[in-house]
Amino acid sequence: MKRYYILISIWMVAMIFHGRSFAEPIFLEEIIVRGEKEALQEECLDIKEVRETPARDVGEALKVIEGINVVRKGAIANDLVLRSFKRDDINVLIDGMRIYGACPNRMDPNSFHIDFMEIEAISVLKGPFDVKNPGSLGGLVEIRTIRPNKGWEAHVNAFTGSDENISTSFSTSYAGDKADLLLGYSYRYSLPYRDGNGNRITEFDPADLNAYKDQEKDDKAYSINTYWSKFGINLLDNHRLEIDYARQDADDIIYPYLLMDAVYDDTDRLNMNYEISDLGHRIEKLKAQFYWNQVKHDMTDERRNSSIGFGEYKMKCYAEAETFGGKLESGIALHSGRLTLGVDYYSRNWEAENTLPVRKQKMMPDVDSSNIGTYIEYGQPMWEDTRLTFGMRLDYAKTKANDDRTDLYTLYHNTIDREEEDFCAGGNIQILCSPVKELEFFGGFGCISRPPGPDERYIAMQKPQMTPDWVGNPKLDPSENREFDFGIRYLGDIFYGKTTFFYSDIKDFITVYDVEGPVKSARSFRNVDAILYGGEISLNLFLPFDFHLQGGLSYTRGRDDTHDKPLSEIPPLQIRIASRYDGYRYFTEIEGVFADDQHRVDSDLSEEKTAGWGIMNLKFGMKLKKTNIFAGVHNLFDRQYYEHLSYQRDPFRSGIKVPETGRNFYLNIAYSL
C-alpha cells in the first residue's frame, strides 16, 4: 500500500507544479452533463472513455461502472455480471436487438458479438425497472451503435499493447438530408497475455490433461474480423427507415478456463427500424423494429494435450443459435405525462452437438423458445419537484426441446417433459424527487419474472465414466425478482456524488446444484428462494487547477434461503479511486482498484475462496487537432491476482483459474478525417 501513496503524492505534486493548461477542462463538463441526463438508477458509459483503457471487450470496458463485474474465461469474451445477476438474469441488448451466443459454455456471451467501434454508448439500468423488454430480472444493459453525423466523416483507430495485442478499425459515413450510410471494419488480434508472474495464461500445469500443447502456448489468443454497415433513409419529413447489417468472424479464441477452445464463432446481425415522429393527435412517436441474427460456433480440444493420440481432436462441440423478433411501440402525450405502449415478440432456436470418442450427443437438443409480451409505462410530473413513473408487463413464453434427451431427464429428474408454457407478469413504481436543485432522491419497487433458459431446462450432456453428467431441469419454474431500490444524488459545483442501495427478494432463483442419479451425480439447476442486497457509491470531487478526484465502491451479499447458505459466484467488495488532471489538451490519471477477499462461497459446489487484491493503473491522453492519443500502463506493479468470478462451478470449467493481466502497456491513436 505504501508504494501507492508515495506514487500518488509524487504525481500530484508534479502536476500541481506544472500549472494550468491552455483551456477549460472538458472532462468535468462531461460528468456534469451526464449527471443531469442520466436517471439515478442508470449509468452510462460513453465509448470515448473506453478508448483510454486497454479493455478488449464490452465486459472489461464496463468494469469502471460500480456494480459491474465479469466472468473471465480467457483473453477476451468476458461475460457481464450486474450486481451478481448474470446470464439470463440480465438483458444485454444491441439497439434493442436480442442476441444469444451459441456456445453451451457461454464462450460467446451476448456482448461478444459487437465491436467497440460500432458502439456510441452503453447504458446500464440496475434493478428490475425495465418493462420494455421481457426478462430484465436483475437489470438491462443497452448497447447503442453509432449513427452517422451530417456530412462526411471518417475515423481510424489503432490500438497496440503488450502481448501483441492489436486492434485496428476504420469507419466512414455520409449523411445527407434524404439518406445516410455508414461502413466500418475492424481487426483484433492478440497472443495469450501474461499474468503478474510473467506466465502466459496458456502456461499452466503441463501435467494437466487440459494444458495447452507446447507449440500452442505462444500461439494466438484470438483473431477477429468485424464488418458493419448502416443505411438510413428519411422517406418523409418525419419518417425514417434504418437497416443495419453486421458480420463478425472470430477465429481461434482460447478459453483456458474451459475444456475446449473455439475454432470459430461467426455472427450475422440484421436490424431494421422504422420510426415515425410527431404524428399529431398526441402521438409523439411510432416505432417498428424487426431483427434477426445467427451465430455458428465450433469448439474442440485440438490445442490441448487431451487430444493427443485421438487424431485432430478428442472432444468437439458444434453449436448454432438463431434469434429473430420485433417490436411495435408508440409514445403518446397524455395529460402532462408520457405514455408508452408496446408489444414485442421473439423466437430463439439453439442447438449443439457434442462429440466424444464414445458417442455423439445432442447437448443442446434443438430447443425452440418464443415469447410474446405487451407493456405499458407512464411517467408524470406530480408536483413541481416530483415525478412518478409506473410500468407493467405481461408475457407468454413457450419452449420445446425438439430432440429427445429424456434419457437424462428421466434419470435425474424423473420426467419426460420436453415442452413448457410460462406466464410472467411484472411491474414497477418509481418516484423521483428533487426538493432542491442540487439534490435528488429516487425510490422504487420493481417486480420482474423470467422463464428458465433453454440450457437451464434442457441441456443434456452425458460424461464418460464417473465424471458427473450435466443435465437441465425440465421442472424449473420462472424466477421472480421483487426488489426495492433507493438512491440519492448530489450535483454541486465542486462535488458530484451518488449512492444507491438495493434489496432483492427472489422467488425461485435459478442456481446450480448436484443432483444424485442411480449411478452417479450430475450438475443441474434448481429453484431456490434467495436474497441479494447491496449497493454502490460513487463520488467526484472537482479540485482547483483542473484536478479531479474520483472514488467508487460496490458490494453485494447473497443468500440461498432455502438451503441457508451463501449464494455462489458473488463478487466481493470492490473499491476504485482515481485522481486526474484534466486540461483541454491533455489529461493524466492515476487509478487504484482494490477488491476484498471473498470467503462467502458455496462449498457444496466446491467453490473456492478468493484472496483480495489491489492494482494501480496509469493513463495519459493528448488531444491534437484531429488526433487523440491515449497511452497507459495497466497493473503497474505487475500484481498476480484473480477475480473471484474467474473461478466458476464445475462442468463449465477445466479447473483452471484464469489470472488477470500482469503489467501491460498500451497506446491508442484515434484519428478523425
Compute the least distance from the CB of residue 646 to Cu ion, in Å: 17
Rounded Cα gap, residues 475 and 417, in angstroms: 8
Shortest approach of Cu ion to residue 653 CB, angstroms? Answer: 13
- Return the residues of window 456-485 that contact Cu ion according to CB under 5 A: none
Q: Which of 391, 396, 491, 406 is nearest to 441 (CA)?
A: 491
| Binding window for Cu ion (CB under 5 A); candidates: 126-134, 152-160, 295-303, 663-671 | 295-303
Interface region with Cu ion, contact rule CB under 5 A, candidates 106-114, 120-128, 208-216, 645-653: 106-114
673: its cell numbers:
478525417
Q: How far is the CB of 652 from Cu ion (least distance, A)?
A: 11
Shortest distance, position 107 Cβ to Cu ion, whole Å = 4
Terminal alpha carbon distance of the chain: 44
CA 388 to chain CA mean position, Å: 29
Using CB under 5 A, which of the segments 174-182, 296-304, 374-382, 502-510 binds Cu ion?
Answer: 296-304
Binding segment for Cu ion (CB under 5 A), chosen from 104-112, 188-196, 245-253, 281-289, is 104-112
Nearer to Cu ion, 101 or 535 (CB): 101
Helix H or strand E segment including 50 = helix 47-50
Choices 103-111, 301-309, 329-337, 424-432; region in contact with Cu ion by CB under 5 A: 103-111
User: Does 103 participate in binding Cu ion (rule CB under 5 A)?
Assistant: yes
Q: How far is the CB of 411 from Cu ion (least distance, A)?
A: 25
Span near Cu ion by CB under 5 A; candidates 95-103, 286-294, 325-333, 414-422: 95-103
- In the complex, the smallest distance separating the C-beta of residue 212 from Cu ion, rounded to whole angstroms, is 16
Candidates 102-110, 343-351, 451-459, 477-485; binding stretch for Cu ion (CB under 5 A): 102-110
Backbone torsion region of residue 151, taken as left when φ is above 0, otherwise alpha when ψ lies between -120 and 50, otherwise beta: left
Closest distance to Cu ion from the beta carbon of 101 (Å): 8
- What is the smallest separation between the CB atom of 300 and Cu ion, expressed in angstroms? 9
The set of cell numbers assigned to 572 is 466481493
Q: How far is the CB of 263 from Cu ion (least distance, A)?
A: 9
Q: How far is CA 356 from the centre of its chain?
A: 32
CB 361 within 8 A of CB 404: no
Q: Which set of grid coordinates corresponds to residue 148? A: 452517422
Decide if 475 contacts 458 (C-beta within 8 A): no
- HSE (CB half, 13 Å, CA atoms) of 387? 14
Among 55-63, 269-277, 294-302, 325-333, which window interacts with Cu ion (CB under 5 A)? 294-302
HSE-CB of 596 using CA atoms within 13 angstroms: 14
Choices 37-45, 78-86, 107-115, 378-386 (CB under 5 A): range interacting with Cu ion: 107-115
- From the CB of 104, what's the least distance to Cu ion, in Å? 7
Q: Is the CB of 97 or the CB of 295 nearer to Cu ion?
A: 295
DSSP annotation of 608 reads: P
Binding mask 486-525 for Cu ion (x = CB under 5 A): ----------------------------------------
Q: In this complex, which beta carbon is closest to Cu ion, that of residue 74 or of residue 571?
A: 74
Burial group, residue 502, by CB count within 10 angstroms (0-12, 13-18, 19+): buried
Span of 101-109, 151-159, 211-219, 339-347 interacting with Cu ion by CB under 5 A: 101-109
Q: How far is the CB of 280 from Cu ion (least distance, A)?
A: 51
Three-state SS for 187-236 is: EEEECCCECCCCCECCCCCCCCCCCECHHHCCCCCEEEEEEEEEEEEEEE
**In this structure, what DSSP letter does residue 89 have?**
G
Q: How far is the CB of 297 from Cu ion (least distance, A)?
A: 5
Using the minimum distance from each CB to Cu ion, give the nearer residue, 462 or 540: 462
Distance CA 295, CA 354 (A): 17
What DSSP letter does each residue of 626-656 carry, written as one string? SEEEEEEEESTT------GGGS--SSS--S-
Q: Which is nearer to Cu ion, 260 or 590 (CB)?
A: 260
Between 74 and 566, CB nearer to Cu ion = 74
Which of 318, 490 has the CB closer to Cu ion? 318
Tell me the Ramachandran region of residue 19: left when phi exceeds 0, alpha when psi lies from -120 to 50, beta otherwise. left
Q: Name the residue nearer to Cu ion (CB basis): 106 or 576.
A: 106
Give the residue with the Cβ less far from Cu ion, 122 or 259. Answer: 259
Report the residue number, 109 or 632, with the smaller CB distance to Cu ion. 109
- Choose between 440 and 456: whose C-beta lies nearer to Cu ion: 456
CA angle, residues 221, 224, 230, in degrees to nearest 5? 155
The DSSP H or E segment spanning 408 is: helix 406-413
532 is an interface residue for Cu ion by CB under 5 A:
no
Residues 6+ apart with CB under 8 A from 38: 44, 123
Q: How far apart are CA 515 and CA 368, in angstroms?
A: 25
Residue 206's identity, in one-letter code, is: P
Q: Which is nearer to Cu ion, 240 or 463 (CB)?
A: 463
Q: How far is CA 18 from the centre of its chain?
A: 39
| DSSP-based three-state secondary structure for 64 | coil
User: Is residue 148 helix, strand or coil?
Assistant: coil
Under rule CB under 5 A, residue 253 binds Cu ion = no
Greatest alpha-carbon span in the chain = 75
Least Å distance, CB 469 to Cu ion, is 18
Query: In this complex, which beta carbon is closest to Cu ion, that of residue 105 or of residue 293?
Result: 105
The grid coordinates of residue 34 equal 451526464
Nearest to 409, CA basis, from 350, 477, 360, 458: 458
| 71 near Cu ion, judged by CB under 5 A | no
- The number of angstroms, rounded, from the C-alpha of 202 to the middle of its chain's C-alpha atoms is 24
CB of 460 to Cu ion, least distance (A): 16
Of residues 253 and 616, the one with the C-beta less far from Cu ion: 253
Under the binding rule (CB under 5 A), the answer on residue 107 touching Cu ion is yes
- Measured from the CB atom, the residue of 264 and 495 that comes closer to Cu ion is 264
Site for Cu ion in 297-326 (CB under 5 A): 299
Closer to Cu ion by Cβ: residue 201 or 530: 201
- Which residues 6+ apart lie within 8 Å of 563 measured at CB? 528
Residues in the chain: 673
Residue nearest to Cu ion (CB): 103
Number of residues that bind Cu ion (CB under 5 A): 4
What does the per-residue mask of binding to Cu ion show for 321-360, with x meaning CB under 5 A? ----------------------------------------
Q: Which is nearer to Cu ion, 51 or 73 (CB)?
A: 73
DSSP letter (8 states) at residue 17: H
Site string for Cu ion, 114-153 (x = CB under 5 A): ----------------------------------------
Q: Closest separation between CB of residue 352 and Cu ion, Å?
A: 8
Contact positions vs Cu ion (CB under 5 A): 103, 105, 107, 299
